[in-house]
């Protein structure tokens, strides 16, 4: 069994669903790196810091105590001791996390934390730059993606399930914008690592994807 499993890919590709399930099956630690950028973005919004103010954003990232804990089978995120699991999924935080994560000084604060969490091994991480930058030595790298329409549909349904107001066209536009920003930024842009396995999940069920990912983790 692989020791460090890195799953990268664009928004809505199903990374967190798959990473979480796989981690649970293997009794590995699941590290949601996007949640860390979301927590910084949430703090910035709360503090009224402009998303263009790289200096202040870096300060927030440096001062943020972000903890991830598995409680009652749920991955909970804490920011400076306060649980923010639900708040960081709000659409305005999703939108803010993209410019925040593009700030190199913010990434410089987050990447060492991610490496530290992964150092003990038996981990599944998901993000955008795990296989390329954070842990290029990961022994299993997967690039998970799906068509834009399918990813938008999945996110839309997820929001509805949570009882949050959602508009499919808006969700699609938001994902498209994030895709563009995540792949075109200068600092660690989203791209497939050369040694990552490309997995297009369009039209596949969660169980079908999980089956493929499980096989790669066991290979
Ligand atoms: O995976 P997510 O939607 O929770 O990620 C939130 C934002 O953080 C998204 O815009 C991409 C960014 N991100 C990143 O730049 N690097 C990572 N390792 C994880 C997420």
| Residue to mutate, 88, 93, 97, ligand 1, most ligand atoms under 8 Å from C-beta | 97
Closest CA to 190 of 201, 199, 200, 180: 180
Question: Minimal CA–CA distance to 119: which of 106, 107, 135?
Answer: 135
Sign of CA dihedral 74, 37, 15, 213: negative
Q: What is the pTM of this model?
A: 0.93
What distance in Å separates the CA atoms of residue 12 and residue 69, rounded to the nearest whole number? 23
CB 170 within 8 A of CB 34: no
Q: Tell me how far the alpha carbon of residue 35 lies from the centroid of ligand 1, in angstroms.
A: 7
In tens digits, the chain (219 residues) has pLDDT values of 889 999 999 988 999 999 999 999 999 999 999 999 999 999 999 999 999 999 999 999 999 999 988 888 788 999 999 999 999 998 899 889 999 999 999 999 999 999 999 998 999 999 999 999 999 999 999 999 999 999 999 999 988 998 888 899 999 999 999 899 999 999 999 999 999 999 999 999 999 999 999 999 998
- Ligand 1 site residues (CB inside 6 A) read 11, 33-34, 37-38, 97-98, 101, 127-129, 178, 182
Distance CA 141, CA 113 (A): 20
- Give every strand in the sheet of 123-127, ordered side by side: 29-32, 123-127, 4-8, 140-145, 197-200
How far apart, in whole angstroms, are the C-alpha atoms of residue 166 and residue 153?
11
- Identify the residue whose C-alpha is closest to ligand 1 atom 20: 34
CA 92 / ligand 1 centre spacing (Å): 14
Q: What does the block give as tokens for 92?
A: 């305005």
**In testing the pocket of ligand 1, which one of 10, 101, 145 has its CB within 8 Å of the most ligand atoms?**
101
**Spatial strand order in the sheet of 82-83:** 66-71, 74-79, 82-83
Distance 126 CA to ligand 1 centre (A): 9
Q: Which atom of ligand 1 is nearest to the CA of 15?
A: 1
Question: How many CB atoms within 10 Å of residue 203?
Answer: 9
165 CB-contact burial (10 Å; exposed 0-12 / middle 13-18 / buried 19+): exposed
Give residue 214's region: left, alpha or beta (phi > 0; psi -120 to 50).
Answer: alpha
CA-to-CA dists, residue 158 to 10, 14, 54, 63, 127, angstroms: 16, 11, 31, 31, 19
Q: Is 204 exposed, middle or buried (0-12, 13-18, 19+ CB in 10 A)?
A: middle
Task: For residue 119, give the 3-state DSSP assignment.
Answer: coil
């Amino acid at each position: 069994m692989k020791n460090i499993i890195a799953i990268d890919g664009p928004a809505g590709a199903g990374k967190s669903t798959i990473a979480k399930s796989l981690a649970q099956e293997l009794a590995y630690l699941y590290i949601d790196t996007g949640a860390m950028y979301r927590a910084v973005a949430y703090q910035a919004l709360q503090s009224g810091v402009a998303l263009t103010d790289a200096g202040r954003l870096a300060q927030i990232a440096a001062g943020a105590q972000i903890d991830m804990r598995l409680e009652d089978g749920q991955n909970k995120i804490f920011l400076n001791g306060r649980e923010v699991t639900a708040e960081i999924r709000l659409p305005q935080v999703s939108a803010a996390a993209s410019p925040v994560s593009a700030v190199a000084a913010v990434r410089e604060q987050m990447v060492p934390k991610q490496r530290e969490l992964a150092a003990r091994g038996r981990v599944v991480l998901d993000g955008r730059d795990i296989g390329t930058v954070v842990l290029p030595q990961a022994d299993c790298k997967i690039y998970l993606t799906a068509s834009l329409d399918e990813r938008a549909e999945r996110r839309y349904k997820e929001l509805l399930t949570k009882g949050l107001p959602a508009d499919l066209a808006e969700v699609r536009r938001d994902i498209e914008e994030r895709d563009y920003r995540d792949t075109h930024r200068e600092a660690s842009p989203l791209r497939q690592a050369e040694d990552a396995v490309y997995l297009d999940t369009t039209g596949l069920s969660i169980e079908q994807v999980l089956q493929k990912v499980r096989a790669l983790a066991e290979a």
